[in-house]
Amino acid sequence: METILILIISISFCNLSVAQCPTAGQDSAATYCPNEVFNIANLRSLDADTTGIFINPMGDTMTNTIISLQFPGQYTYFYHISDTNCPVDTAKYIVTILPVSACFWELTENASENNQLIHSNPVSNELVLNDLQFDQLEIIDPAGRIVLIHPSSNNPHIDISKLENGNYLLIVVNNGTRQFQRFIKT
């Protein structure tokens, strides 16, 4: 009897997959006014994975990405991302907070100064407008925050009694034209 040796070779094809490491994306920068609320997560580039952690300028992990900074200057934030098989990837975000004066410039960039918008300056508890014609009125505090928005009205008297004493910027919008006047609340 002949011995036939049959060798059966079983080849199995393995599904070998190579996992791509997560990316923190590109470094970026943004500029804001003091006390302007922004979301640091919006600085992530489109190629960044969203499962990382944000690190604030003090080196602490951030639990909330919606922030506001009060003092002018540059602040460095980091976005770290990793998994068990890959090294940490980091993106750096430089946040610049402008001086308040620069922010007032942004607010008044498309506006003309008019020192005749209000009846008297300084003002105590009531702002009296010289002209009733406006579509909207805004009052901006020294930190650049809008503290009062007043829609069109036939009443020239605007109650500002709840505002703290200090310098403010009044912006009046009428038919697409913006005018502003600085005033002091005493």
pLDDT in tens, 157-169: 889 999 998 888 8
In this prediction, residue 4 carries a pLDDT of: 44
Q: Which residue in this structure is represented by tokens 């946040």? A: 95
Given a cut of 60, is residue 35 above it in pLDDT? yes
Span 93-103, average pLDDT: 79
38 touches 58 (CB < 8 A): no
Domain 28-102 fold: Immunoglobulin-like (2.60.40)
Q: Looking at the DSSP assignment, which residues form a beta bridge with residue 159?
A: 126
Compare 99 and 23 and report the one with higher pLDDT: 23
Cα–Cα nearest to 36, from 126, 144, 154: 144
Euclidean distance between CA atoms 74 and 138, whole angstroms: 29
Sequence length of the chain is 186
**Do 28-102 and 118-185 show the same overall fold?**
yes
Domain boundaries, the chain: 28-102, 118-185
CATH number of 118-185: 2.60.40.10
User: Strands of 28-32's sheet, edge to edge?
Assistant: 28-32, 86-97, 73-83, 53-55
Given a cut of 70, is residue 2 above it in pLDDT? no
